[in-house]
Structure 1
Amino acid sequence: MPKISPQEWFNSPLGRYLIALEYKYINPVVVDTFGFYAIQIGNFDIDFLDHSRIQNKFSLNSNQADLMTSNEALPFDESSVDLLIVPHILEQMSEPYELLKEIHRVLMPEGRLIITGFNPTSLWGIKRFLSFDIDYPWNTKFISLSKIREWLPIVGLEMVEGKMGCYIPPIQQSSWLKKIQVMEQLGDRWWPMLGGFYFLVIQKRVHGMTPIQPLWQKKLIKTTIYSAQKSKTYKVKP
């Protein structure tokens, strides 16, 4: 049996280091996303939605969750969620592809999905491959970025932004973590695909839909046209 749960691991020095980086990436997207409903699915305690301007925010399946449910059947209506954050959930599931299909169902058209996951093509992936450790996160599936990108268009989702982080080796000593933080800047520049985790911003695309222009925007356009033409006189031939 595993000795360390995901909650315990994310409270370790290495877990806190990783979460701090992920929060740095996720927060600007959260602040820039608007709508009516935002959902975070997770089994650790950090609130990625704390700076969201969306009024209705819910947490699923965490220690302080508003709701406990199955990840395979999300308790939301079709096309009802504007923002969904899924940090390190796909790699814990037996059928991660099915969760992506369920996410597509509940997302609004052009709604945003944020995914983080452990990258198998990294020092972290090497440790998992060589280790017989049955504790989290080494006992989970490390799903490759190429596999995620293969699944997305099949279920109707499209990646619009992505980056990686945690280029450091997966060590737990706080003193060493501080000394080798420079590897983050070096990794971004010299080996950007070898980070310990990937961060993806994804949107639900519905082809053939014409976005409805907000009424205030239509009025603004009409006012602008009128102002530009006001000083001109046109003669209309009979």
Structure 2
Amino acid sequence: MHNLSAEKAIISLGAWLETPAGSYVRAWQQARLDMLTADIFGFNAMQIGLPQINALSANRMPNKWLTDTHLPAAAEDGNTVPIVVVHDFAELPFASQSLDLLVLPHVLEFTEEPHQVLREVERVLIPEGQVIVCGFNPASLWGLRQAAGRLTGAHFLPQNGEFISLPRLKDWLKLLNMEVNRGHYGCYAPPFITTKWLDRFSFMEKAGDRWWPYLGAIYMVQAIKRVRGMRLIGPAWKTRPANAPKAVPATNRIHKNTDQ
């Protein structure tokens, strides 16, 4: 059965992404995901959750899918996002070691079992497969405003999210033998709710990336599944040393022994 509270939280995040602040976040994440996924090769790629972001649009794998906890409502033009599987994020319905790439946009923050979701991610990834995780940074102006909103009731971000710091997430991934690359931060503008004020502070994007890179409202981390004791082996080319003695046919060896 689906976790109803988690499903409602994901839905509320999807609605928030349609707001001016959500569009600002979506634009940064789309550009960063396009950059990270463009050169990841393989056969099977999967985006888990949040169909409002097309995380695999720049990836060139032949098989790309999107899953979620629910089927989306019809869009204004009558079309729906092509979700191929509806499932509980804590139990991925895929074979072990079957996927080359998984992208989790804000999934861990809106599920009650983030550790279980990561264990499932590790299970379904092939050796050397990759995962990309997006999240809200609690150590940012947006995180501080969200913390204050929990006291006042004026939430800026969806209230059901449990935001995970990037260092903490890296520790979780390392426990699963996932080799973590450096994180990427973005969205340095203050937590405004209007496009007008977000645009006025757009200059902070370059300044923040240079002067306070760990205070962006959004982070993204990429990790590779490593398997202990496993190494890539090339072709077993066998060459004989130049000074190696030539092999003597078995019949010659028999005749030689009988002559003695």
1:3-14, aligned counterparts within 5 Å?
5-14=12-21
What's 1:209 paired with?
230
Question: If you compute each CA radius of gyration, which structure gives the higher value, 1 or 2?
Answer: 2
1:85-100, aligned counterparts within 5 Å?
85-100=103-118
Q: 1:136 to 1:127 in 2, by over 3 A?
A: closer
1:98-122: CA deviation from partner (whole Å, max 9, x where unpaired): 1111100000111110001001000
What's 1:31 paired with?
38
Q: 1:134 to 1:13 in 2, by over 3 A?
A: closer
The answer on 1:115 being equivalent to 2:133 is yes
1:162-187: CA deviation from partner (whole Å, max 9, x where unpaired): 11011111212111111111111111
Single out whichever of 193-202 and 45-54 deviates more from structure 2.
45-54
Q: TM-score, normalised by structure 1?
A: 0.85
Distance 1:235 1:16 in 2: 68
Instruction: Tell me the amino acid that sits aligned with residue 42 of structure 2.
Output: G
Single out whichever of 70-79 and 53-62 deviates more from structure 2.
53-62
> What is the CA distance between 1:236 and its match in structure 2?
4.8
Secondary structure of the equivalent of 1:101?
helix
Q: 1:10 to 1:235 in 2, by over 3 A?
A: closer
Q: 1:111 to 1:237 in 2, by over 3 A?
A: closer
Instruction: Tell me the amino acid that sits aligned with residue 210 of structure 1.
Output: R
Distance 2:170 2:15 in 1: 30
Instruction: Tell me the amino acid that sits aligned with residue 97 of structure 1.
Output: H
What's 1:80 paired with?
98
Q: 1:176 to 1:39 in 2, by over 3 A?
A: same
Secondary structure of the equivalent of 2:181?
strand
Report % sequence identity: 39
List gaps (5 residues or longer) in structure 1: 223-233
What's 1:69 paired with?
87
Residues paired across the two proteins, number: 222
Larger RCO (alpha carbons 8 Å, 6+ apart): 1
Distance 1:150 1:13 in 2: 33
Distance 2:244 2:103 in 1: 61
Distance 1:81 1:237 in 2: 47
Q: 1:236 to 1:154 in 2, by over 3 A?
A: closer
What's 2:184 paired with?
163
> What is the CA distance between 1:145 and its match in structure 2?
1.2
Q: TM-score, normalised by structure 2?
A: 0.78
Secondary structure of the equivalent of 1:94?
coil
Corresponding residue to 1:103 among 111, 121, 126: 121
What's 1:198 paired with?
219
Tell me how large the CA RMSD over aligned residues is: 2.5
List gaps (5 residues or longer) in structure 2: 73-80, 246-260
Instruction: Tell me the amino acid that sits aligned with residue 218 of structure 2.
Output: F
Distance 2:105 2:90 in 1: 15
